[in-house]
Structure 1
Amino acid sequence: MARYHIETYGCTSNRGESRQIERRLRDAGHHRVEGAEEADVAILNTCTVVEKTERNMLRRAEELEDETADLIVTGCMALAQGEEFRDAGVNADVLHWDEVPEAVTNGECPTTTPDAEPILDGVIGILPIARGCMSDCSYCITKQATGKIDSPPVEENVEKARALVHAGAKEIRITGQDTGVYGWEKGERKLHELLDRICDIEGDFRVRVGMANPKGVHGIREELAEVFAANEKLYNFIHAPVQSGSDDVLGDMRRQHQVEEYVEIVETFDEYLDYWTLSTDFIVGFPTEEPEDHAQSVALLRETRPEKINVTRFSKRPGTDAADMKGLGGQVKKDRSKEMTDVKMEVVAEAYDAMVGETHEVLAVEEGTGDSVKCYDEAYRQVIVQNAPDHAVEVGDFVDVEITGHQTVYAFGDPV
């Protein structure tokens, strides 16, 4: 039986894939070691969101090759740009996620046992509900790795969620490349049904829904908002990446949605929920983004005021249509990114400042620095409880806190 070492980079969806790989390896009798030098095989689960990440993945693969007998590279960069590892002279097997356990087990087909531990990290359980997406964005390389949406039945995902809760999960993170189109390939979008069913599971836990593109959410926005309003177990949080405030740029990006649809999602959730968190993403400096397009993005940020915002400078990814477009200068992208980031910090700080003096129930999900713990309130806003042992607050606890201050992107809370 093999000793394996695994490293995971990128999003929670990647982490979920790694957990499934580990589960199958453990069930087949293999065991994990912490250092690659102690392993028979090292597994590198890669990310390829931007060019800097790509360079880091290549460097780490070269390091692992020197530290272990055999190296397997999987994940988004491996599947979309496997030739990069070969061109760099990395001696590794470049495999799809599903192929990794079989490669390590020499072709055996292990069966996952019912008592396998499903918790990914402490009290956080990650539940990938589907693989792939329905989009064809002109700048995206990840789709080359994941393909179109493939959604397991609702009941199958509910049983996985139930196993997580029974194993001790206090927070279930619903993940996927695009959770909003769950079930789309079968002619029926079922994210709201799945969430409602998971919330019916007995136990004290919270559920966070991962990234859902606006096009998928828009068609079921009323149904989703109703499910959020009816279930306290659901964090009042959605991550709907708009990417631009300009319909012209969205068209060039092939993003499927228009700005109006994104705004209608926000308005619908505002109608159903008094307190919730909107998370979104913006790409600045797309090749066809004119100054007026950028101004529209800034205006949209100010109008919808998301409490969590990811701002990314456009980066050409090989093999994508946008890579053939004439790009904007680096200084232009830098200046637009700075303007957007400045507005972002203003908007986020205002949201957290408004919480000061309020009392919220939070769930402690992981240890912070020193004696602090990281918690999330009912809208998935991060609250830090300092000197946690003095308050007898431990990871996995639900506790009421008074918000006493903030540091722009998170708040501080004292148990009451």
Structure 2
Amino acid sequence: MARYHIETYGCTSNRGESRQIERKLRDAGHRPVDGPSEADVAIMNSCTVVEKTERNMLRRAEELQAETADLIVTGCMAIAQGEEFAEAGIDARVLHWDEVPNAVGNGECPTTTAGTEPILDGVVGILPIARGCMSDCSYCITKHATGKIDSPPVEENVEKARALVHAGAKEIRITGQDTGVYGWEEGERKLHRLLDRICTEIDGDFRVRVGMANPKGIHGIREELADVFAEHDELYNFIHAPVQSGSNDVLGDMRRQHQVDEFVEVVETFDDRLDYWTLSTDFIVGFPSETDHDHAQSMALFRETRPEKVNVTRFSKRPGTDAADLKGLGGQVKKDRSKEMSELKQQIVGEAYESMVGETREVLAVEEGTGDSVKCRDGAYRQIIVQNASERGVEVGEFLEVEVTGHSTVYAFGEPV
């Protein structure tokens, strides 16, 4: 788990977003520290209300960069003027605020909530389907806290999902350390069976998003899983399969269990079954054994599979893990590789959202955004922002048609049809 330091500037909305970031970080097992010098990662939630504020933000980002190994900038200036940080020579990951919690992780599996009980947060129902992990990654400390996989019966999770829908959930988020190995300890992976039953046996209008599933876990059920996605409109056409590296040598040193071709086969299977879907993945750059050639292989895999949601993480040693004993790469090497991959990410994700402009999408309004806006998700879990929501009568929990009128790098803008 990472040690983090967070600073928030600006309005009440920014403070609310920081609270949500912190809640997700603590749920995932990360812990706050007193200052940036003690942190693995510093997070600056920025403001950009006037020119003087912009100068202050750049100056503070420069100070934080000097005090911590990894800097994330989010908030209004990150969204509206993110390029100014790079132009000022500041080496930071510039992210939308809801990308921050995943980006803080060092490629580690997330932890689930205590007792793996469901939570209703607005119209979002969070359903942890299992606890634990079958992997033994050399860099991950989470496994020491969670243990091996423990999967409740399918019937039990279906009933929990039904209870969330009856309580008002419009979006159910299936979570776990590794959803792809749900049922593994009983000798049968059951994720596809669970999803099929949730979609066929529960009445109501809702959507289901499947959380992180390691490539090895879903590779053996990739065809069954893709068929279930193709059959049910209730499922967002979205998978999060963290590959971590495009080099089999590095994957072996990470003890990741899968190889690159297995990840590619998962992607190809979903490409065959689904016309419109989103691949989310993670890359760790700067693992101690990663050579220039290994990094080039990761870049090539990125270009080949074109994931549209990507967490790029610089390797950071975690106490008690085997990778912590390895001789690390220099900080500049990690920064350079992270920058190169992040620039490719911006290009590919930007092109995906640009391709949507002018098209009409059915979306679910999931949560309130900044100001008078609402965050919506289309069938592939791409984010579309509807502005001036109250005057347009758009409310959270509503299904509606929107025309995509514009885009930022990581989301689109839509007008209700």
Q: TM-score, normalised by structure 1?
A: 0.75
Task: Check conservation: 2:119, 2:127, Cα contact below 8 A.
Answer: no
> Residues 39-54 of structure 1 correspond to what in structure 2 (within 5 A)?
46-47=29-30, 52=39
Alignment CA distance shift 1:294-1:132 (3 Å): same
Residue matched to 1:233: 234
Q: Distance in 2 between matches of 1:49 and 1:298?
A: 32
> Residues 214-225 of structure 1 correspond to what in structure 2 (within 5 A)?
214-225=215-226
Which amino acid in the other structure matches residue 328 of structure 2?
G
CA drift of 1:389 comes to 1.2
CA drift of 1:47 comes to 1.7
Residue matched to 2:278: 277
CA drift of 1:121 comes to 1.1
Which amino acid in the other structure matches residue 122 of structure 1?
G
CA drift of 1:55 comes to 9.1
Q: Distance in 1 between matches of 2:403 and 2:391?
A: 16
Task: Check conservation: 2:40, 2:316, Cα contact below 8 A.
Answer: no
Percent identical among aligned pairs is 78
Q: Distance in 2 between matches of 1:147 and 1:168?
A: 32
CA drift of 1:10 comes to 6.8
1:346 aligns with 2:347: yes
Residue matched to 1:189: 189
Residue matched to 2:415: 414
Q: Distance in 2 between matches of 1:55 and 1:385?
A: 31
- Provide the alpha-carbon RMSD of the alignment: 2.3
CA drift of 1:391 comes to 1.5
CA drift of 1:8 comes to 8.1
> Residues 135-174 of structure 1 correspond to what in structure 2 (within 5 A)?
135-174=135-174
Runs of 5+ in structure 2 lacking a partner? Answer: 1-18, 44-112
Q: Distance in 2 between matches of 1:154 and 1:13?
A: 28
Task: Check conservation: 2:25, 2:31, Cα contact below 8 A.
Answer: no
Task: Check conservation: 1:119, 1:167, Cα contact below 8 A.
Answer: no
C-alpha offsets along residues 171-214 of structure 1, whole Å, 9 cap, x if unaligned? 00000000000000110000000000111210000000000000
C-alpha offsets along residues 308-353 of structure 1, whole Å, 9 cap, x if unaligned? 0000000000000000000000000000000000000001001001
Task: Check conservation: 2:120, 2:164, Cα contact below 8 A.
Answer: no
CA drift of 1:119 comes to 4.7
CA drift of 1:48 comes to 5.9
Residue matched to 1:402: 403
- Aligned to 2:39, the other structure's residue is in SS state helix
C-alpha offsets along residues 279-319 of structure 1, whole Å, 9 cap, x if unaligned? 00000000000000000001110110000000000000000
- Aligned to 1:256, the other structure's residue is in SS state coil
CA drift of 1:52 comes to 3.1
Alignment CA distance shift 1:150-1:48 (3 Å): farther
CA drift of 1:390 comes to 1.9
CA drift of 1:54 comes to 8.3
> Residues 307-346 of structure 1 correspond to what in structure 2 (within 5 A)?
307-346=308-347
Residue matched to 2:132: 132
Runs of 5+ in structure 1 lacking a partner? Answer: 1-6, 16-44, 57-95, 100-111, 113-117
Residue matched to 2:46: none
> Residues 243-322 of structure 1 correspond to what in structure 2 (within 5 A)?
243-322=244-323
